[in-house]
Structure formats: structure tokens, C-alpha cells
Amino acid sequence: MADQKNPFRLPLAAHAFREVIAHCALLTGESVIFGDSMGSRIKPVREAFLAWKETSAIAADSTATIVGMSDDLRDALEAFFDWQEQNRPEARKKTALMLTQLAGPSPALPSDVVAGEISAWMKVVEYFNLVAHSKHKTKPEEFVNNLFLVEDILLRRLQPRPVSDLNEIDALLAEADDAK
């Protein structure tokens, strides 16, 4: 990101941060599945639609309407909508669960804060996806603001792991006090 001579630095950094964000689920013990995205799901639907459109083409000046649908298009649409119904609403729930699990056993945050964090997290994920695929021209300031948003959410959520040997820490602190 620091190489200002590289015109692709922000999209490349966005790819990296997409990976970081995706791997946050690993911290909660969840598996990360790549490749099962909206793009990979819509591709067969688009292909079946284009094939159907090509075989069902009518003249531009015709007043006829196309009736019927190919079996491939119907199957692709059915599979896509089944997947969408099961997975898209789940994205918000999965994000909420992941952020909750990252917080550990600490007291729960107020519900309005949680709802805001979930929405912000999902917007940042979408932002990095768009930047990574060059579908959103961004400025370094906007990019850094989105990074700070992720950092802020994670800092509020992540809890330090408990130290197993408190006696050793106490001894080090006593040693420091004796040295004064």
C-alpha cells in the first residue's frame, strides 16, 4: 500500500484485507469456504439464460412474446434461488455469530452497537470486494478509513488470552520493584 508508484496498490491491498477478514472466522473455530460466492452461483444461471435467450430469439420488430423456458434455465434458476434463500440471509447471521464469538465471555455489547458493527463489517467486506475487483475507484484516505473501521471492531471484540502463569508475572513485577 505504501508504494505510491504502483497504480494497483489499493486493489492488491484490498485482496489481502479480504483474506484477513475472511480468516477472522478461523479464530472462532469456524471453517472458511472459498469459491461459494454470488459470482460462482450466478454464472450457471447467466449461461443458461443466455443459451435460452439465443434459442428463443424473435425478431426485434415482432409483437410476439416468448412463452416457455428451457429445462436448463429453469433448473439453474431453481438451484440459484434455493442457494440464495439459504445463504444470503445467513451472511448477516454468520457475521453476527463470528463477531460475538470473537468477543469471548466478556459482557455483551448493547444491541444497537452490535447491529451497527454487523452492518459496518458487511459494508467493509463489500467495499474491499469492489476495490479488489476494480469496481470501485477509491482514494487512499477512504481505504485507510475502512481499515480503521475493521481494526476498531476487532479491537473491541478480541479479548487477550489469559496468561497461564501469573506467578511468573508476579515474580517479574516484584523484581522490577526491588530494582528501584
| Distance from C-alpha of 7 to C-alpha of 39, rounded to nearest angstrom | 26
pLDDT tens readout for residues 105-161: 767 777 888 888 889 998 999 999 899 988 999 999 999 999 999 998 888 887 555
What was the pLDDT predicted at 171?
A: 84
Are the CB atoms for 144 and 124 separated by under 8 Å? no
In the chain, domain spans: 9-162
Q: What angle do CA 94, 163, 31 make, to 5 degrees?
A: 25
- Sequence-distant (6+) residues with CB within 8 A of 64 are 58
Q: Which among 159, 130, 154, 153 is positioned nearest to 143, based on CA atoms?
A: 130
C-alpha R_g of the chain = 25
What pTM did the predictor assign? Answer: 0.58
Helices (H), 56-70: none
Q: Does the pLDDT value for residue 104 go beyond 80?
A: no
Calculate the CA dihedral of residues 167, 172, 175, 177 and round it to 10 degrees: -100
